[in-house]
Structure 1
Amino acid sequence: MKRMGILEYLKNHLVVGDGAMATYLYQQGAPVGTCYELYNLTHPKMIADVHQAYEQAGSKLITTNTYGANRERLERYGYGHKVTRINREAIKIARESIQSDTYIAGSIGSIVAGRVTQYDSDEYHDLYEEQATALLHAGVDIILLETFMDLQELLIAINAIRPLTDTPIVAQLSLLEVSRTRDGHSLTDAFAQLQKHGVTGVGLNCRMGPLEIIRALEKTIVPQDLLISAFPNAGRLGESDGELRYKSAPSYFGETAHLLINQGVSIIGGCCGTTPEHIREIAQIAQNQNPVTRINPPVVPEACEVLSQPPKRTESTVLEKVAQERTIICEFDPPKDLDVQSFLLGSQELYKSGVDAITLADNSLASARMSNLALGALLKSQLGIEPLIHVSCRDRNLLGQQSHLMGLHALGIDQILVITGDPTRIGDLPGASSVYDVTSFELISMIKQMNQGLAFTGRSLKQQAQFIVGSAFNPHVRQIESAVTRLEKKIQAGADYAMTQPIYDKQTLIKVYEATRHLDIPIFVGIMPITGYRNALFLHNEVPGIKIADDVIRRFESITDPAVARQVGVEIAKDLLDTAMTYFPGIYLITPFSYWPMTVELTRYIREKDARAAQDSA
């Protein structure tokens, strides 16, 4: 007798799915950090035993061990060439280990998988198509798309898979905030878009326990004719007796199963932390119930949240200034000690000389310095100086990064420069950890999301931030075209302007101008005066890409008085500025070793030269 198709079966039956694979394997002794998808080839019996345990507990739908069996994930372990084999073996194991009337769901997980990343949509399309093709060829009853935090990525997967097959596709989102995706879509909007792209069912899995998923569904309009699935976690992950554990007991899943069923859920399983015991509790409830026709909450137009705005700036931003006139940003590093007064004195003199904004590095060269946020607040509140704060990807995880940016917003500091940051191993605390949760591209994009009033998680911030976001540009590479391509990607992510590494020869200044003149953002060209012979030798021999002309080095060689050497460095920098000012309206002066009188003199030189040019043209 031919088995009934799963869609036909679902018309009159609830379907109990299975539970976790990875966390259950870990409980069975599999080491953490392992590529569990590879177990399809190396430990097939172990995977078969998991499938059988879930089926014996009452699962009618077994999910293949292929959540991360895409080329991008497998290549991290050196097995990218085995995508097809791993996926096909997963189907074989599932089919041979369960009864013939139990259905098989081909699992395809998010490639982003909780990371914050910029990705190539075409590349991801190909990755999803490759994995789905292998699963479909081996034969599955449904495709189960799991743990997608961003609607955008989920739509890429669906658009790759739907043209390949008529097999049912159930698309599951994973939420950080109840009823809203990480990329800012309400669950109602997300489900509507998923229906338009041809899915058979929608659902939620991972991160949330049963009650949070119920809360999310209670607030959501689910389009008619779509199946609804729910695969909650076993509660929140927490520490107990020195171990990380999921809290929810199996009995709790039985107590909440009927609440999910009353929301119209017809496919119920479990995600992280769940075991065959959790599934057994669900199955005992489901076996005595029929599917419930979902009743959506009243259709209330989604309120347009009025986002309050911070007070308007009284000073023009460097972005506004540079569009009208010569603009000077001066870098003055925070101190390595607790002496604030010396820093404030230097900042005041720089500002009096004509600097438009003082930019403060974020522990430059991975050496511990005073918080640039605190100093920026002092510059703004005590001296009326506009700070421009560097924000490094190195020192803060995503939690700290968003908190830091929210603090900058509260202080009215909205001009920032996003940088990757030198690794801690080169600094004065080499035992410190480098975080790098995100790249500079990703952080720029996330900050621009805050400008739309959305946190990194997609929740409302109740105000729109007003960050002007700069990016670093390093022209000291073999092929400047590659550096420009990298900058173009930062512009696509939302960069408003760029600041270059210091340049020490006129030819490079002109080369940078020619290579970037097509860009629609201002470039602030970096000039940092040389302080002496050793400084020149260091720059020439130890800093990648920087070359100091032989005659410049010889010019410093015989100078023994440091003050005289610094004055020579200023004169050489003035000569470079003559060229830089011809091509760039934005100048980025970098103060070496806190010798602020050097940059004061260079700032005055720029202002006086521009004033003379204005008089001559009048």
Structure 2
Amino acid sequence: MKPDLREALRQRILVGDGAMGTYLYQMGFPVGISYEELNLLKPDVIENVHRLYYEAGARLIETNTFSANREKLSKYGLEQEVEAINRAGVALARQAVGPDAYVVGAIGSIRAGKRKNVRTAKVKEDLRQQIEVLTDTAVDGILLESFYDLEELLIAVKLIRRISTLPVICQFASEGTGTTQDGIALQDAFHMLLDSGADVVGFNCRSGPVGLLRSLEKVAGMNEAPPFSVFPNAGIPDYVDGRYTYAATPQYFGETAKRFADLGARIVGGCCGTTPEHIAAMASALEGYIPNPEALMQLETASGVTETIRVVREPSPAAVKETDEPNLVELAKRRHTVIVELDPPRDLDIAKFMEGAQALKHAKVDALTMADNSLAVTRMSNLALGSLVKERTGIRPLIHIACRDRNMIGTQSHMMGLHALGIDHVLAVTGDPARFGDLPGSSSVYDLTSFEIIRMIKQLNEGVAFSGKPLKKKANFVIGAAFNPNVKYLDKAVQRLERKIEAGADYIMTQPVYNAELIERIYEATKHLSVPIFLGIMPLASGNNAEYLHNEVPGIQLSDEVRRRMQGLKGEEGRAMGVQIARELLDTAMAYFNGIYLMTPFLAYEMTVQLTNYVWEKAGRRDFHLSPLAK
């Protein structure tokens, strides 16, 4: 007979299961249905998913009841089926696994990060109903997962403790910050949960392994540290041709499983995007695990960069002169042309951003490009920053436009505003899915595809509104399109690119490339195209940064050689190697492409200033003088 869950966690690490919802999605079940209702409609499918995870090595199995509360089920007219769906979920999990597995009743947040969307009294009542059903079944414990606010999680723990002594696992949805979404320091939040009766605390969802490692590092030093649990996503999802995909491989999950264990994780599983293969890799890695007592000292943050805010005096607007330079397409036909990306800040302080813009102005970049809430993380409006950059520095702003955040009304309004500000260079992108960003309750609009938004912006250039009505003036937008060459079948990616050019794209900007041979292949595959390509180069900041980009960020693939050279490096040493590797890549890129697209990691603009200087030196630009940062 197996020991109870609390005793098992004192004896060993338990491997948890992986995703249910995204796995069902991969199997062909569409978004927009209740996956929990499948407990009644497709019990054989749900039972088989549980069995696959058990056979992969999972010994902690979650019931398919995450959203089986009255509030969430009411969206599908299923509010009367709470008891039936929850009881079926437990029965299916039990039937699928052996006697050595622990089955825990999964309960998700009702508010899902939107603190005011459901009254507290209703939250309590709906949680109570689901808790009463699950604690009246043969579960070995309760798993409270994907909670954002301490307040709601405490409500759930206290409700359980009034009626049950079952083990309780509490997990916050975390993106690597040191606080909960309602502003409570993680260590304080965990202490309050433990004082209220929680047995295990930890994290799941929102982030891949690197983000949850950061979160775990912030609490691993707790006095009398409790058992921790971690269930990371399989990296950041990508949205291509109407489908969500995930980048992190099973091998990567196996490699990070021990790092979680070294920090005190007693339950290690997977969340969105993970599959039985991910769980099998972790189970294999943790077999016979022996803790590393020095692991905490050896871990570094994923960025490897410490940001220092410097206060600078902005130049007077009167001192900035307008330039009559040709657009980027014309420039790239004549000479090497450099675009540099600088991320808008996630807060209200623009000092370092503007300092970076000024430094890049001195380095004579041809355009400063700003993403549109990349990775679905909320940042300052790139339209506002683009206007400030143009006014204060005179650099040409290049603004990304994502399909995710605006419907057709908002998109046309946004474009009209850019026209009024004299900002005419844009990059049309699909945009990362909103539900995986820092406001997961937000909706992804996607009224337009990247192909359609290019066509619509071109229509404004003809003096025609999206509605087809005539406008009193014509716009003059120069429209870029994104290209990911880090794919298995480059020819198919180029075919997709050709469609964007047919839609009206004037130039192309690629994802970062870390392989000289791939740069040559990109040239051979695209040399027939009529528009300039700006080859993406992003200097790496540390070994952890390299592994994060390679394993968790869609559209980025590092070569084995680059990963080997970056392995274990951090701080100044890591940044120096990152710049050196980027210079070597530039040697190849400049031989084939006039367009260079440099991406600044973590606002470390000194790195892209150095690389811009390198481009101008190598190109023999006559009006070039080393920026002070490079001396």
Normalised by the length of structure 2, the TM-score is: 0.47
Of the two, which has the highest radius of gyration? 1
Normalised by the length of structure 1, the TM-score is: 0.48
